Amino acid sequence: MRLPSSPMCFVILAMVALLPACASAPLVQGNGLTSYETMKSSDGWFTKTRLSVNKEQVLAAKTIKIVPTAFAPTVAPKLSEQQRALVANAVDRALCVGLSDRFTVVTPDSQADLTVRASITRATETGRVAAGLSAATSLGMSLVDTAVPIPTPRIPIGMGSLSLEAEAVDVAGQQQASILWARGANAFFSSARISKVSDAYDLADSFGEDFGELLVKGESPFDSSGIGLPAWHKIKSSVGLRPKNAACEQFGRYRGLKGMIGDQLALPPEWTDNGAQKTAQTARP
């Protein structure tokens, strides 16, 4: 296969290069947190945040429970109920696996030192046509006969975004950590899949990792330097194996090999993610 060399092709590529590489993602404050007063900005490379944490109290906690993430139909009315449930559950699943680094995660009806609750305050859709073109381009480039693999940026059109707010409160209902979080899909690092909910689904997992790290370490996930290796339980969970804490089974397991194949084929996450389990007893053995 040869690379296209027509003048029009180069014009299109030049126009694409001038477009923003990231989707816009504003911080959107809702009304579900106990307090917003002590939050301070703590942005990452692609992520906007305002957060607060009482480090001593958070690090003293041993047990934690997760209230299922709220995603009201009015926030993203063009998404289906199934799609909203998939994104909200992706938040909870990532939170549960991340919090397991230090906490014992218990079921929502159990007593815990901290209770986590999150809500999605804004979600924009992924453009399915642009995502499909990006996926086709990536597949085509993978067939090009070159000595070095050619990375194929996603077409930076129709990329989705996600904004959330969340907090952790103690047994007395006092807020011990809080966050406003927003991130848009990136042309270089976000997978293109043919689904309106594709980017929001991926970003939900990123949020879960960030807020989980805030509670595990008691400090901003963007302040630490260097790259740490993931815990062994995270690696096992990422390929669909049993999570470290049994309470995480309520949010289902990661898609594993099925998800990796689905992503390569640009399949909608709705086709490869079974979502939350009705009860821990219905989870796979």
Instruction: Encode pLDDT of 89-112 as tens digits.
Output: 999 999 999 999 999 999 999 999
Helix intervals (H) in 53-176: 55-60, 81-99, 128-142
Whether the Cβ atoms of residue 267 and residue 194 lie closer than 8 Å to each other:
yes
Calculated CA dihedral for residues 130, 132, 135, 140, nearest 10 degrees: -100
Reference 94, options 190, 184, 211, 208; nearest CA is: 208
Q: What percent of the chain has pLDDT over 70?
A: 80
CA distance 241 to 235: 9
Choose the weakest-confidence range: 5-14, 131-140, 142-151, 221-230: 5-14
- The residues near 140 (Cβ < 8 Å, ≥ 6 apart) are 1
Question: What does the block give as tokens for 211?
Answer: 């807020």
Give the residue with greater pLDDT, 280 vs 31: 31
Q: Identify the pLDDT of residue 262.
A: 87
